Amino acid sequence: MITKEAIALAYKDIQNEICLALEQLDGSAKFEEELWEREGGGGGRTRIIQNGQILEKGGVNFSAVHGKLPESIKKAFGVDEDDFFATGVSIVIHPNNPWVSIIHMNIRYFELNEHIRWFGGGIDLTPHYVNEEDARYFHQQLKAVCDKHNPDFYEEFKKWADDYFYIRHRGETRGIGGVFYDKLNTQKTGMNLQDIFAFSCDLGRSFAPIYSVLVEKNRNKTYTDAEKNWQLIRRGRYVEFNLVWDSGTKFGLETNGRIESILMSLPSQASWVYDHQPEEGSEEAKTLSMLRKGINWI
């Protein structure tokens, strides 16, 4: 049976691989690492890259923490036990160029005891300008990873992402979605835990090659001040989702997680323009029209 120590070690390797790939992709910026310990048990490695040729700000974080669950989390999970272990890798990348998308990935594992163990995670893309060709490529690659492990995964997890990455107070999705899953275990899937873990690792390792293709395609496109301003407005929507709706942010805050690591997902700059309405027929208006659930990108 796969152990929590083996899972954490594999996730550490994935963090290393992704950081190396992103440094090579950017071409100039390097990650800075900070090791930290969590009061109550465990710790992690926060790695931040900033002011690169293409990567304005990004984080690739690993954590493995343990301790006592707060009462609010126990109630939300519907459990009585409170000795937990959680490990994962979390990534958010904010590029300089408005034509390059924000991307997020998270793979994680949670354990209370030998009977209550599950995996969660996903990858989603948040373009400032939706390019339909890029969206199709992104979803096709994620479907290929899902299909390798379970033919039902992509359709189920794509809908899950649409529903999860939804800014309810705006009535729009955060981006073009991707795949998202939570509390994936043997009972839910009929798969053994080792196979679910293999899916988690394959999804994690798909991040760098998928994003590299999208970055290389768009990194040299020129942009105007107006397009840069639109990027900042879209970043504002990203911030709204992460601070208001994101369950990972809430879990981190409620379990006394490290604030700098939890909030590394926020961009260095964002804008909120009162009642901003894009011009009819513009690329900005086209993007807004595609920020909705249920689009079949395949």
Starting at the edge strand found earlier in the chain, the sheet holding 117-126 runs 32-37, 42-50, 55-68, 83-95, 102-111, 117-126, 178-184
> What are all long-range contacts of 155-160, with beta carbons under 8 Å and residues at least 24 apart?
156/181, 157/122, 157/181, 159/294, 160/122
Give yes or no: 66 in active site. no
Chain centroid to Cα 98, Å, comes to 19
Distance, CA of 212 to CA of 19 (rounded, Å): 12
List the structure tokens of 161: 């992402």
**54 near 98, Cβ under 8 Å?**
no
Name the catalytic one among 94, 104, 139, 149: 104
Helix (H/G/I), strand (E/B), else coil: 124: strand
- Active-site residues, by number, are 104
